[in-house]
Amino acid sequence: PNDKLLVGLIGAGIQRSLTPAMQEEEARHHGLRMHYQLIDLDVTKSGPELLPTLLAAVRTMSFAGLNITFPCKQAVIPLLDELSDEARAMGAVNTVVHRDGKLIGHNTDGSGWSWNFQRALPDADLSRVLLLGTGGAGSAIAHAALRMGVQELRLYDVDPARAQALAAELNRLYGAGRAVAVAEIAGGIADASGLIHATPMGMDKMPGLPLAEELLRPELWVSEVVYFPIETALLKAARAKGCRTVDGGGMAVGQAVGAFKLFTGREPDAARVDAHFRRL
């Protein structure tokens, strides 16, 4: 029998992904032989229209599962047999499990973020939180933050329509007044207890800060999603002000740990995955 666990990642521009290394190394510790295949749409020179072909191959080749990333997290949904409650609420799938002939969509991005956040700052004040960026990562985190107990989530995006649409959806799902789109950062941060950063600012290819440094205060906790590099300008500025911070690496580990559990049914050793990730 073929005892090798086949999994993979479908997305565009994923050659630098650290997920294959994290998944294969954790599988090895569990005595499992895993092959994690990168299926890069930039390499195949195609877009999400290739998904039906790829998912048919996943079914016939007995893949155990898949991770899904940009630009396929929404496009994959109509091709699946079932969705978890979380994936359905978010309208986005980052993990697919292939079991008993069915493809089931899950989302471990948001839960990966909250798992790591609670591990890093268990006593954080969740009363009023400003979220910068309401794209893929930001919207997954927004759902997770409200599920975790953030009382009021303020949403800011350079594209105000995006923040407004997400706020409306969050209020419908989690209760009126839980989310509010704000027109400027200064007002949203003034009496906030925490800041979540989910824009691409601070990435190697987009250096800089996503807000004016003067707006940071020592009482504010700061959670970063950018993890190329791990040490962003925002984290440096926040620590210099005395803020407690959470880096973007933990969320990447959190989504991988959640996906590993779904793929294998085994309990991953999160501390071991985290330590390995930080050596990569």
Binding residues for ligand NAD, rule: CB under 6 A, are 70, 132-138, 156-159, 162, 198-201, 203, 210, 225-227, 248, 251-252, 255
At 150 the three-state DSSP class reads: coil
Q: How many helices (H) and strands (E) does the chain have?
A: 10, 12
Query: At 242, which amino acid appears?
Result: G
Q: Which two structure tokens, joined as six digits, stand for 95?
A: 């993990």
Closest distance to ligand NAD from the beta carbon of 206 (Å): 8
Nearer to ligand NAD, 80 or 225 (CB): 225
Least Å from the CB of residue 99 to ligand NAD: 25
Query: What whole-number distance in Å separates Cα of residue 275 and Cα of residue 280?
Result: 9
Q: Could you count the other beta carbons within 10 Å of the beta carbon of residue 264?
A: 19
Between residues 132 and 146, which has the closer beta carbon with respect to ligand NAD? 132
Query: How far apart are CB 201 and ligand NAD at their closest, in Å?
Result: 5
Q: Which residue is nearest to ligand NAD (CB)?
A: 135
CB of 135 to ligand NAD, least distance (A): 2
Nearer of residues 83 and 200 to ligand NAD, judged by Cβ: 200
Tell me how far apart the alpha carbons of residues 11 and 136 are, in angstroms, rounded to a whole number.
13
Does residue 73 carry a catalytic annotation? yes
Radius of gyration of the chain measured on its C-alpha atoms: 19
Catalytic option among 73, 102, 241, 261 = 73
Q: In 10 A of CB 175, how many CB atoms? A: 10
- The helix (H) or strand (E) run that includes residue 270 is helix 270-279
Nearer to ligand NAD, 255 or 264 (CB): 255
* 71 cis-preceded (ω within 30 degrees of 0): yes
* Residues that are catalytic: 73
